[in-house]
Each structure stands twice: as C-alpha cells, then as structure tokens.
Amino acid sequence: MSIGYILNWFPQLSESFVENEIRMVREQGHPVRVFSIYRPPAELSAPTTLAPGAIEYRPSPGLVLMHLLAWLARRPLPLLAETARALRLRSQTQLRGVWLSGWIATGLVRMGAQHVHAHFAHDAAAAGMVAARLTGMSFTLTVHAHELYLRTNGVCARCVAADRVITVCDYNVDQLARLCPNLNRSKVDVIYCGVDVERFSQVLRPPLRPPAQLLSVGRLVSIKGFDLLIRAVGLLRDQGRDVICEIVGQGPLQSDLEQLRDDLGLRDWIVFRGPLLPDDIRQELSECDVFVLACRIDETGNRDSMPVVIKEAMATGAPVVATREAAVPEMVDHTVGRLAEPESPQSLAECIGELLDLSDEERHQLGRNGRRRVCERFNLETEAARLLEVFSSVIRERL
C-alpha cells in the first residue's frame, strides 16, 4: 500500500508516537508520504527517519489556490458539496480543510497513493477527508484527545465521513459514543499508540539510594498537572524524604511552575531539564527510580487520554505513579505502580512514598510487570500491523 499521512505538524517532539508509527509502517514495506500543514518551529522539531523528499509542507497561498481551482474544474460537485458542508457546520476548521484539499489531492495522485490517513480529528482530518473525496481514495483518521474535548464542532462529521475511525483507548470510545451518537460504533477501532519495545529495553535498576530519583516528562501545560507534582514533592520534603524530581519538557507554564517551585523553597528538590530528544528521554526513563505523571482535566475540559510516555516508562521497567484520570487506569494499576486521586498533591505524595517504602525486589517486580504489559498490549509492531489491516480492509471495500 502507498499511504498519504496528513498531519498538522511533522515531525514534532511532543508527537513522537506518530513518527514511530510511520517508521513501523515503512519498515513493513509500505511507502509513506507526509503532508504537513505546518512546519514545526526548530525548538519543537524532532528527528525523523523519513527522507526530506517524503515530507511535503503547505505551499504558498497562491499555489494552494491554483491546486484548488484545478480540482474545482476537474471535480466541481464534490468540492462544492464539501464547501456547503463546512458552511452548514459553521466550521472554520472544515473550511480550512476545503482550502487545503486541492494541494493534498494533487500530492496524493502524484505519489500514487491508495489510502489517506490523518492524525488528529481537526485540521489534518478536515483536509484529508476532502482530499480523499476528490481523489476517490479511502480515508481513515486517528482521534487522540484534545480535538475530542475542545473542538467538537465538525469532529463528528469527519468521523462519520471516514471509512474507519481509529482511537487510542477505550475511554475515547465512550466519549465518541456520547458526543457523536450518529457514528456507527462498528467502524471505530481501538489501536494503541504503541512502544518500540526493542528501543525501550528493560533496565534492572540498582538498589534505591538517596536521593530517590523521580522523573516526569511532558509539555508544560495545565493538563500535565506539574503544579500538583511540585506540591507533592514539597509534601515529601516535609516528611523528611530525600528525593529529587526532574521535569523534562517545555511549554507556556514554565515560568509559573518555576515560580511555584521557588515559592515553596524546592530549588534543591526540583530541576527543570527543558526539552530533550527521544534518545535522551529513553536514557532518563531508564535511570529514574519512579516515573510520575499527574494528569488532570483542566478548566476548559481539555485532557490527555492515554499518555504514551507512561507506556515508555513502563517499557524500561520503571514503576509508575499517575492520577486516576481519563484512560490512565487502562495502563496503570497496583501491579505496575500506584494510581493517585486527581487534583490531590497529598494522594500523589502518598503513592510516591508507598513505592519508595517497598523493597528493591518489590519495586523491580512492579517494573517487570509493567514491561510485560507493554510487550503484550502496547507493542508498536503489533499495533502497526493492526492499523495496516484496517487500511487494507477499507481499500478492499473500495474495489
């Protein structure tokens, strides 16, 4: 199969799971070309195994218009119908999808694509949906998190129009059923964002020695709950525990979080590492004593669904503490770590303390259990094969 992937940003540090999926699809023998609507800023750009010629970025507005007019002449009815749909939905996202569809459709035809797949159900899916209709190709999309909880206007229409809908956890399936009652459940597949278990090899950690090394990784935004983690570290300090917590990532809340750390007198307990490349994050995960992620639903309703970094931590054999929120309980239970109550630094500190009080062998057993769970349920190679079977099936249905 020759597959056109439509993305908002590529390659991006915070979406390494997309790069991993594409790499695995290519390693299984399927040509891929990426159409990226935006070019990531240099500080957010990630390494990719794709050659530069296999990534196409949105051209100038003049060229976008030329492609659109060419397809208007060639396929006027579908293009006008999609424009009417966007206006009916009052969806600016869908209108942007119509605007970009000609450029993408031209690229799909040039590469000889047989299938179109979009990650995230907003701009990328809107453009991919219209481009697929113009070219007559099959179309699928992957629904992740924020587009499902923040940008619902038009999301359901894109899901209904897709040949199949992929989502990344059972929690999202329930949310889709609630938000999109017209969506046929039988065409929704749960395919996890998997982990390359060969790259994230299990590490036998040495006996715990103070200070205990805590690690958290993510964008410095509200839904990651880093303020909760900082307050939990303060509680651990007040209990006399010798810990140091490293926070990897960058984002708009960095100055606020640093100020909170300083206000609580935690400069010697919390270190902000900034963004790291995937190889460096793997190294950090392999060296920590406990991985912590305090996910929350913020005041806008935004949230993570199933953070990949938790699976990556488990793949290295790290015991995990995370909040009982969204799809996190689908990954984490008492056999691999601890689940803290949402919005509770006290509960978070208690869970971290519980793991630190275990014997080295008990912590190692949690890590082994976590690694086994990732290998059995969240294996990148297995999930990529399932995704390719979905692509094959919708292509066959079009024949």
Higher pLDDT: 178 or 264? It is 264
Q: How far apart are CA 94 and CA 100, in angstroms?
A: 10
CATH number for 3-194+379-398 (one of 3.30.70.20, 3.90.1300.10, 3.40.50.2000, 2.60.120.330): it is: 3.40.50.2000
> What predicted TM-score, i.e. pTM, was given to this entire model?
0.93
Q: Give the rounded percent of residues in the chain with a pLDDT score beyond 90.
A: 91
| pLDDT at position 151 over 80 | no
* Helix locations, the chain, DSSP H: 16-27, 61-74, 76-89, 92-111, 123-135, 146-150, 155-161, 170-179, 226-238, 254-263, 278-287, 308-315, 345-357, 360-377, 380-398
Mean pLDDT of the chain: 95
The whole-number average pLDDT for the span 306-316 is 97
Predicted local distance difference test score (pLDDT) of residue 141: 97
**Where does the chain hold its CATH 3.40.50.2000 domain(s)?**
3-194+379-398, 212-377
Distance of CA 15 to the CA centre of its chain: 5
Dihedral (CA of 57, 61, 66, 69) sign? positive
| pLDDT at position 152 over 70 | no
β-pair partners for 291 = 215, 320
Q: Give the three-class secondary structure for 107.
A: helix
Q: Among 207, 288, 294, which Cα is nearest to 243's? A: 288
CATH number for 212-377 (one of 3.40.50.2000, 3.30.70.20, 3.40.50.1110, 3.40.228.10): it is: 3.40.50.2000
Q: How far apart are CA 155 and CA 91, in angstroms?
A: 10
Q: How far apart are CA 152 and CA 286, in angstroms?
A: 38
Q: What confidence tens digit (pLDDT) does each residue in 82-125 have?
A: 999 999 988 899 999 999 999 999 999 999 999 999 999 999 99
Predicted local distance difference test score (pLDDT) of residue 120: 93
